[in-house]
Structure 1
Amino acid sequence: MLNKWFLSQNVVLGLITTKTTTSKFNNPLFNQHFSFPFSLTRFCTTTSQSESVTHPFAASYLINNFGFSHESALKAFNLKQVRFNTADKPDSVITFFQNHGFSHDNIRIMIRRAPWLLSSQPHKRFLPKFQFFLSNAASSSDIVPLLTTNPRILRSSLDLEKQIIPLFELLSRFLKTNKDIILCLIRYWTAFATNPYHLIVSNINLMSDFGVSDNVIGSLLQSRPSIFGSKDLIKSLEEVKDLGFHPSMTNFGTALMAKKCMSKKLWDEKIDTFKKWGWSDEAIIRAFRCRPELLLASIDKINLVMSFWVNQLGWNSLALTKRPHIFSYSLDKRITPRASVLQFLLMKGLQKKNASLVTPLSYSENLFLQKFVFSFKVDSDYLLKLYEETMKIAYPMENNGMPFTN
């Protein structure tokens, strides 16, 4: 992985010195990339004679209308996710979603994620929740994309009174608007639903008593609510405080997220990775206090940034301890293009040798171009070409599955 990436980067730095799947069905509605015609109010559910003998009706419905494979359709049936013998119930579900602003693509994605939706009684199970969402300042355009990818909140008709409304009232203490609450509940329903309500309340109260501000609690509820299902939260709170973070400060929440959302083994592996590149324990703690997001970076990302900085550019890794936010930047889209410009300026004697090499990476793109490209009249054309060519090489690399964060 590293060799493949650095081969591309050597090309960049060299600038300085010189399958469609065919459907099994004839009807185009039945292929895997279908979209339902708006004129239809009912889905086509016909099957061939051999299929109807081989598969239960519900499995054939999934195959013909949603592109399920035979295996996945039968699995959904055998797990009792779909149970119907006619098209009436699933058609009523489709009609319900269409009437509430879901596109055909939305519906297809939802059903492939949660085929159990088709066995539901929409006006009993879904409608009360939609009415609740919409009555609390959320619009269809807000909730449709979230429900498309997170349909679990629609599963039980009992959730509204027993979980959704109590959680809504709890979150209203920390989130600014009803819309924020609704969107948070839909997006993270799995985390909220799988942890007992009393445990969530207990951990929120624990944080408040520990001195964590309501704003930090609200931020954690909107980003990592699974933290509130922890049974040893006090231990993590104490550990973060011992690392030098005051509970009332905003960065306490980020540090807690870094500490709580990874195993001790992974935490230690990341610490060892920084040490491998010459950072001391003190330097790591100092950088973590400055930028607690540092330890949210993957080990691959840490190694890629360090290798590029030290091995490709020949620069000191300790410089990064002063600006650890560099590890949250995209290596290809930000770090490499700017480093190639800075390296050229150093080689030409246009940049002071003691000038920071890290600070320019934090500038906005416009400011960086003004200060390090356009301000050098003689070389500005070449510098801009170097920057843009590096960027062009970066884009295909960015799409090769490398573990980068923006």
Structure 2
Amino acid sequence: MSRSQCFKHFLLCTKGFANTRLQTPDLNHPFPSIHFPKHISETSQQHSFTVSYLINNCGFSPEIALKASNGVRFKTPRKPDSVIDFLKKNGFTNSQINNIIQRIPSVLTCNPHKTLSPKFQFLFSKGVSASDVVQLVNRCPKILLVSVENSVIPSFELVKRFLRSDKKIIDCVLANRHFLDYKIASQNINMLLDDFGVKHSHITYLFRTRPSILLSNDLRRTVEEVKEMGFDPSKISFVVALHAKKGVSKLRWDAKVDAFKSWGWSEEVVLDSFRKHPFCMLGSKDKINEVMRFWVDQLGCDPLALAKMPKIFGYSLEGRIIPRSLVVQYLIVKGLRKKSCSFLTTFAVSEKLFLRDYVMRFEEEKFHLLKLYQGKISFRENKEDDVVSGS
């Protein structure tokens, strides 16, 4: 509906009392009494008053007010005034209140003491600060309307089985507002635990990384698919694979497969790498290409070699892959290590072991090796040094 159409509709709603002049509201009585002609129905009166209220009190445009009025009707300002007053007293700004009303206009007909206050008291009891409550309600205003006993508390208790921190629980529930319809999540969790033997700790992983997966209506189908791929439901790799298959859209999944194939991998190699290390499909397509490009163009190695250790695609290029490559390449140039592309294991070892075995053990070279490793010498500078030294 265009702006002009909306405004015409508003005028039609108020037809019959268009000549009634509204006095300028004072602070104590912002909404003067409106006397509607008898031929106007009570529903039309409610609609007209609601639209007027939203325009005058919330600063809504006529079209936004009309849209919001389709979800709420009231005859007097008593209830909406009490709701707005309650929200203001709890730290909400006018713009925040208006945003909440646009998203859930029916909140204006709530009883603040019976409907709104219990949610705030529950959140406060869990250690959530007043400012955090404002932020959480802005993120998920639906919480103002649902039942504390039948929705908020059961959702909280469900998540509490897996996350111990009250703050993490609240963030999880309100960041994924469908947890307030906790039944789907509860059914999916029971299915994973009872039907497939997924461990409690592995469901905790899903809560921490991608809780929305537990809210999927068709989760069983994806679980069956992952199991058929050869993943063991008792292993962490199972839920990681579930995360990858359910959390990555088909479009993005196919783009990543195509990225691998552009470097000479077959689809079978991609799937085999996914089975070895499902995290490799959680990175971006750009990250895949960056790692491949460095491995092939800078190190001159076979791209298929990376299929032996697909976890490399989860490592930081700048923070791990490049610095360790610089160190190994320098050792090769100095004859302290044989030239080979089979140094994949150097990326997997811990920081402590890498420093011990590839840096500190070479007493005469360790100063230069540390400079390489700490990024004080770039890959290009190191290659230039190689040329000068006759490598």
Greater C-alpha radius of gyration: 2
Shift of residue 311, structure 1, vs aligned partner: 1.2
Distance 2:275 2:249 in 1: 19
Deviations 1:364-395 (A, max 9, x none): 444433332333232322222233345899xx
Deviations 1:197-252 (Å, cap 9, x if unpaired)?
Answer: 44333333332313323332333234323223333322211210111111122221
Among 171, 174, 177, the alignment partner of 1:186 is 174
Q: CA shift at 1:253, angstroms?
A: 0.8
Shift in Å at residue 255 of structure 1? 0.5
Q: Which residue number corresponds to residue 22 of structure 2?
A: none
Structure 1 residue aligned with 2:184? 199
Within 2, Cα distance between the matches of 1:325 and 1:75? 53
Deviation at 1:293, TM superposition (A): 1.1
Q: Do the aligned partners of 1:110 and 1:151 also contact (CA within 8 Å) in 2?
A: no
- Tell me if 1:292 matches 2:292: no
Q: Is the 8 A contact 1:146 1:186 kept in 2?
A: no
Aligned partner of 1:156: which letter? L
Q: Distance in 2 between matches of 1:392 and 1:127?
A: 59
**Which amino acid letter does the alignment assign opposite residue 188 of structure 2?**
N
Write the mapping of 1:5-404 to structure 2, written as runs, cut at 5 A. 58-59=58-59, 80=68, 93=87, 95-97=89-91, 127-135=117-125, 138-140=126-128, 144=132, 147=135, 151-152=139-140, 155-176=143-164, 180-189=168-177, 191-193=178-180, 196-207=181-192, 208-354=194-340, 356-389=342-375
Matched residues, number: 313
Quote the Cα distance in structure 2 between the aligned partners of 1:198 and 1:145: 24
Q: Equivalents in 1 of 2:64, 2:378: separation in Å?
A: 44
What is the CA distance between 1:312 and its match in structure 2? 1.7
Q: Counterpart amino acid of 2:264?
A: G
Shift of 1:75: 9.2
In the TM superposition, residue 267 of structure 1 has moved relative to its aligned partner by 2.3
Residue 95 of structure 1, CA deviation: 4.8
Report the CA distance between 1:295 and its aligned residue. Answer: 0.8
State the shift of 1:326 in Å.
1.7
Instruction: Give distance in 2, aligned partners of 1:346 and 1:114.
Output: 63
DSSP 3-state at the match of 1:140: coil
Q: Structure 2 length normalisation: TM-score? A: 0.64
CA RMSD for the aligned pairs? 4.2
Gapped runs of 5+ residues in structure 1? Answer: 1-54, 61-72, 99-106, 394-406
Structure 1 residues 338, 203: closer, same or farther in 2, change over 3 A? Answer: same
Note the alpha carbon deviations across 1:157-179, whole angstroms, 9 max, x for none.
43423321222333344445666
**Matched letter for residue 96 of structure 1:** N
Compute the displacement of 1:113 (Å).
Answer: 8.0
User: Residues 391 and 185 from structure 1, CA distance in 2 versus in 1: closer, same or farther, beyond 3 angstroms?
Assistant: farther
The aligned amino acid for 1:314 is: G
In the alignment, residue 326 of structure 2 is paired with which amino acid? S
AA in 1 matched with 2:159: L
Quote the Cα distance in structure 2 between the aligned partners of 1:88 and 1:166.
Answer: 28
Letter in 1 for 2:256: K
Greater length-normalized contact order (CA 8 Å, ≥ 6 residues apart)? 1
Task: Tell me, in whole angstroms, the C-alpha distance in 2 between the residues paired with 1:112 and 1:338.
Answer: 54
Distance 1:109 1:331 in 2: 43
1:391–1:325: structure 2 CA closer, same or farther, 3 Å change rule? farther
Mapped contact 1:174–1:215 kept (Cα < 8 A): yes
Q: Give the letter aligned to residue 203 of structure 1.
A: N
Identity in percent:
40
Which structure 2 segments of 5+ residues have no match?
A: 1-54, 380-391
1:292: how far off?
1.1
Q: TM-score, normalised by structure 1?
A: 0.62
Residue of structure 2 equivalent to 1:30 = none
Distance 1:365 1:58, change over 3 A: farther
- Measure the CA separation in 1 of the matches of 2:95 and 2:334: 55
Question: Are residues 263 and 389 of structure 1, via their aligned partners in 2, closer, same or farther at CA, if it must alter by over 3 Å?
Answer: closer
- Measure, in 2, the Cα distance between the counterparts of 1:97 and 1:391: 53
